[in-house]
């Protein structure tokens, strides 16, 4: 792959090549920083800065941070927009477009006041640009094709240069053929750390980030349908679905920050169990302290970013997920007819004479689907998957687990394994007799003395 202009054949070969790590000839890009490629979907270790101002690096869930080089005081990064193959969960890979071997692209971390130069090489089969969402910068660096710059033709490299003027939580994505390129997985995270102690930005022990993204991939296929507007079936955090999303592992008592950006076509109420958090920042910057209140769910609208912060002071394994129930489910959960209460006795064998593969689903609810090892088309994420220490979890999509442990070492992000519940603290089965139900006494009938007047028997309060 020494030529810069990908041919049609190279484009289709490119997806396969990137699995093994795309090799770019150094001679062709001699003056540029060598592009760094990452093809593993594992959560990368935080990238401690070895040049420039110090900061406490973030951890990108199932992602990584892009290294830079220092050139006369300027931080230089090299992004390569290209077709990639992403493992969305074990057994399910999707052809995507991304940056430097992955979708999402690598996280970019800089410090307030840094001078930044970003080289963007386009190895897609069509023009692209990069928009630096939320940044204060010169208009000519804002990346809207046609409006702020000519688009980057296939095979060419453009240079963006600006100062990171304000600290905060940002992202980047194309502003050229957005419908295709974002539906194919092109976006990445950006964090600008404060240059000094900031009155609205607390130092934290753990700083996680990820993007919400979604794809429409027919079961058995591996390329997203880019024209889908609403009916997506793969609901991702950083292009991963449960059980493929890594857990968030923290030490008991840690101050934890989770930065989330939404690049799907709908909102996601992100819900944390066992703790209350505050929203300490948006893509507009840190929020005033007087605007913060405790929450256990934060709705993240399309194109928004939110920073959630809390003290992890409850030991255990805590679910952390989108509260839309269809978003904690993988493909095949959407077009199944509701069968609850339908008596199918004797029916299946008759239907199977006409439709040999016919299978009955859901006449007692969908719970059985958790255990069912049904024959899925090749390359399909099971609708509900994942096991906990008590059995099947029965979810997919936008779900992970916050693991809070007393013995987790500072800076150790490794998975401590399942929580050891103290004896007597787990919900248990009642083994005594169950009394039969009694009918509650009917509420006394109150005749309103006026047509719209009612009396609440419990309080006697009149409306
Ligand atoms: Cu959601």
- How far apart are the CA of 331 and the centre of ligand 1, in A? 14
- How far apart are the CA of 445 and the centre of ligand 1, in A? 44
- How far apart are the CA of 427 and the centre of ligand 1, in A? 28
- How far apart are the CA of 29 and the centre of ligand 1, in A? 41
Token digits of residue 315: 């030991």
- How far apart are the CA of 232 and the centre of ligand 1, in A? 11
Answer for the pair 398, 326: CB distance below 8 angstroms, yes or no: no
- How far apart are the CA of 301 and the centre of ligand 1, in A? 10
- How far apart are the CA of 171 and the centre of ligand 1, in A? 19
Token digits of residue 120: 């963007």
- Give the count of beta carbons closer than 10 Å to the beta carbon of residue 218: 13
- How far apart are the CA of 242 and the centre of ligand 1, in A? 13
In terms of C-beta density within 10 A (0-12 exposed, 13-18 middle, 19 or more buried), how is residue 230 classed? exposed
- Residues, CB-to-ion distance under 5 Å, ligand 1: 268, 322, 324, 327
* Pairing state between β 108-111 and 188-193: parallel
- How far apart are the CA of 305 and the centre of ligand 1, in A? 14
Token digits of residue 342: 């339908």
Query: What does each of the 463 residues of the chain score in pLDDT, given as a tens digit?
Result: 333 433 333 333 333 333 333 344 444 445 788 899 999 999 999 999 988 899 999 999 999 999 999 999 999 999 999 999 999 999 899 999 999 999 999 999 999 999 999 999 999 999 999 999 999 999 999 999 999 999 999 999 999 999 999 999 999 999 999 889 999 999 999 999 999 999 999 999 999 999 999 999 988 889 999 888 888 889 999 999 999 999 999 999 999 999 999 999 999 999 999 999 999 999 999 999 999 999 999 999 999 999 999 999 999 999 999 999 889 988 765 555 555 666 666 666 766 676 666 555 555 665 555 555 556 677 877 766 788 999 988 888 999 999 999 999 999 999 999 999 999 999 999 999 988 888 888 877 766 565 555 555 554 444 4
Regarding pTM above 0.85, the answer is no
Cis ω before 124 (30° cut-off from 0): no
CA–CA distance, 247 with 320 (Å, rounded to integer): 9
Answer for the pair 179, 226: CB distance below 8 angstroms, yes or no: yes
Q: Give the closest residue to 277 by CA, choosing from 300, 257, 291.
A: 257
* Residue that has been written with the tokens 């999509």 in this structure: 397
Encode pLDDT of 102-146 as tens digits: 999 999 999 999 999 999 999 999 999 999 999 999 999 999 999
- DSSP H or E stretch at residue 257: strand 255-262
Residue 280, CA atoms < 13 Å, CB-side half-sphere: 24
Answer for the pair 103, 97: CB distance below 8 angstroms, yes or no: yes
- How far apart are the CA of 121 and the centre of ligand 1, in A? 32
Encode pLDDT of 412-460 as tens digits: 999 999 999 999 999 999 999 988 888 888 877 766 565 555 555 554 4
- How far apart are the CA of 414 and the centre of ligand 1, in A? 26
- How far apart are the CA of 22 and the centre of ligand 1, in A? 33
What DSSP letter does each residue of 23-79 carry, written as one string? ---TGGGTTSPPPP-----SPPPP---SSSS-----EETT--B---EEETTEEEEEE
- How far apart are the CA of 54 and the centre of ligand 1, in A? 35
- DSSP three-state, residue 426: coil
- DSSP H or E stretch at residue 19: helix 8-19
* Residue that has been written with the tokens 């130092």 in this structure: 203
């Amino acid at each position: 792959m020494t030529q810069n202009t990908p041919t049609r054949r190279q484009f289709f070969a490119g997806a396969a090549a990137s699995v093994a790590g795309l090799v770019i000839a150094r001679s062709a890009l001699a003056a540029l920083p060598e592009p760094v490629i990452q093809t593993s979907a594992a959560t990368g270790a935080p990238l401690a800065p070895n040049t420039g101002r110090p900061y406490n690096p973030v951890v990108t869930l199932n992602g990584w941070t892009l290294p830079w080089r220092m050139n006369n005081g300027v931080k230089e990064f090299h992004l390569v927009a290209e077709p990639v193959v992403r493992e969305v969960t074990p057994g399910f890979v999707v052809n995507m477009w991304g940056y430097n071997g992955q979708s999402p692209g690598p996280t970019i971390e800089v410090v307030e006041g840094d001078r930044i130069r970003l080289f963007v090489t386009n190895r897609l089969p069509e023009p692209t640009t990069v928009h630096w969402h939320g940044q204060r910068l010169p208009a000519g660096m804002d990346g809207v094709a046609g409006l702020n710059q000519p688009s980057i033709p296939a095979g060419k490299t453009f240079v963006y240069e600006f100062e990171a003027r304000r600290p905060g939580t940002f992202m980047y994505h194309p502003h050229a053929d957005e419908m295709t390129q974002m539906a194919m997985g092109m976006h990445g995270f950006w964090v600008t750390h404060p240059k000094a102690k900031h009155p609205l930005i607390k130092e934290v022990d753990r700083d996680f980030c990820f993007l919400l993204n979604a794809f429409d991939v027919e079961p058995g296929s591996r390329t997203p349908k880019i024209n889908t507007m609403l009916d997506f079936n793969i609901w991702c955090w950083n292009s991963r679905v449960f059980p493929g999303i890594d857990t968030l592992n923290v030490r008991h008592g840690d101050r934890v920050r989770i930065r989330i950006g939404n690049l799907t076509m709908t909102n996601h109420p992100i819900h944390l169990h066992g703790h209350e958090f505050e929203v300490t920042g948006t893509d507009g910057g840190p929020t005033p302290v007087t605007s913060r209140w405790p929450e256990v769910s934060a709705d993240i609208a399309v194109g928004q970013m939110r920073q959630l912060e809390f003290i992890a002071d409850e030991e255990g394994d805590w679910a952390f997920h989108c509260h839309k129930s269809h978003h904690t489910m993988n493909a095949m959960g959407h077009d199944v007819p509701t069968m609850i209460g339908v008596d199918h006795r004797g029916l299946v064998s008759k239907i199977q004479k006409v439709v040999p593969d016919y299978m009955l689903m859901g006449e007692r609810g969908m719970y059985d689907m958790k255990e069912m090892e049904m024959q899925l088309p090749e390359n399909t994420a099971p609708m509900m998957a994942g096991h906990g220490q008590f059995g099947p979890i029965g979810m997919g999509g936008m779900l992970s687990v916050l693991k809070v442990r007393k013995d987790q070492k500072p800076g150790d992000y490794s998975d401590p394994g399942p929580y050891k519940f103290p004896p007597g603290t787990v919900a248990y089965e009642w083994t005594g007799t169950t009394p039969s139900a009694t009918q509650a006494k009917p509420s006394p009938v109150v005749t309103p003395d006026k047509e719209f007047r009612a009396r609440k028997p419990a309080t006697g309060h009149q409306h």
